Amino acid sequence: LTCLKPYKWLIFGQFVISIIYAIDISLRPYLIKKMLDIIATIRFEDAVSALTWPALAYIGLTFLMILSFRLFDYLWLHLNPNLKTAVGRELMDRMMDHSHRLYQNHFAGSLATKIKDVMSSLPDLIKIGINQFFA
């Protein structure tokens, strides 16, 4: 949690984008349903005026999602490497506080691999939590 604190706004931005994505998942089929209902009940001459707002809303939602995904990628590109670096520094600082006995009983490569695994897994865990669970 100490490592996540400086990046809370980047993570919050990803949560907001996942909420927008969840709204899009529900709203886009509803707009298509509305357009199909209008097409089924209206005369051909009135179709353009009746379909203008639902079609514009659908197109606007498409552009909003494109921008949201680009913003999500932008936030991810700023979060991922910086968080990995912060986690690596924190773990290395903690490793320096351990006694000499720890290093005699464990292989240095094993400890380094554990640090590398945590460094690479934490950002992915956050991304999975936001994309799969929250959204």
More confident residue, 60 or 46: 60
pLDDT of residue 4: 83
pLDDT at 26 over 80: yes
Question: So what's the pLDDT on residue 61?
Answer: 92
**Residue 33 pLDDT greater than 80, yes or no:** yes
Q: What is the mean pLDDT of the chain?
A: 86
pLDDT digits (tens, 9 = 90+) for 118-127: 888 888 888 8
Q: SS3 for the chain, per residue?
A: CCCCHHHHHHHHHHHHHHHHHHHHHHHHHHHHHHHHHHHHHCCHHHHHHHHHHHHHHHHHHHHHHHHHHHHHHHHHHHHHHHHHHHHHHHHHHHHHCCCHHHHHHCCHHHHHHHHHHHHHHHHHHHHHHHHHHHC
What is the pTM for the complete model shown?
Answer: 0.72
**pLDDT tens-digit map of 56-110:** 999 999 999 999 999 999 999 998 888 888 888 888 888 777 777 777 777 777 7
